[in-house]
Amino acid sequence: MIGCKPEMMDIEVYTSDIELAAEGELFEVPVQVEFSLLGDDEDGTLDRVIAASKKYLSPDSRFSRSKGMMGDRLVIDTKLPLGNSAALSDFLSKNNRLAYIEVSKDNDTKFVFIDKTSNLISFHRELQSMNILLGLELPSSKTIVRVSSDSRKSVGVYATAVFVSKKPYLHFEKALNRREAIELEFNGSEGSVYSEIYPTFAIQ
């Protein structure tokens, strides 16, 4: 977690969940987050980070550690709430989470964006109290959103300044038929638009 930003956040959402979330239902969707710690974790820093993070994550979250080229690697499989503003407000008043996925609608268009909660700031401060070099910020260096269609009708997917299949698009749009999927890659590295704003896309 040195460097503050997660290396990657991987999210999968279904079009029917987005459509129902826009109407007030709430879902918890799977998310995988990857971090790297430079050097060897000789003082058990990652164990302390894992212990501290559990109160901010879904109860079924899983943690896995491995050795990388430059140091230790931590992968967290967890869930984030997906819903409209009212449903999220109710859920987050009863459950601690570091981030959420909000859906809003304008006629037939559903807008989806990822944002942090105030808990992320609290967790960031908690990490820095362990080690001044530790911290957590969002958006991640790379956010991948896999949009899978399970809707009966064709669904249009729209995004700005994204990579799809490693190709850059200023404005991306694609119609998904049922059982089709697309991966949207948002680059959150320094200097990119998504280093300052949170990943967002729309379906129609």
Question: Measured between alpha carbons, how far is 136 from 121 in angstroms, rounded to an integer?
Answer: 8
Q: How far apart are CA 123 and CA 137, in angstroms?
A: 10
Looking at residue 2, its pLDDT comes to 46
Tokens representing residue 45 in the block: 């820093």
Q: What are 106-156's pLDDT values in tens digits?
A: 999 999 999 999 999 898 888 888 765 666 778 788 899 999 999 999 999
| The predicted structure's pLDDT at residue 129 | 81
Q: Alpha carbon of 25 to those of 77, 83, 90, 111, 117: distances in Å?
A: 23, 6, 11, 15, 19
Which helix (H) or strand (E) is 128 found in, with range? Answer: helix 118-130
Question: Using one digit for the tens of pLDDT, what is the confidence trace for 153-184?
Answer: 999 999 999 999 999 999 999 999 999 999 99
177 DSSP assignment: -
Decide: 182 and 147 in contact? Cβ < 8 Å: yes
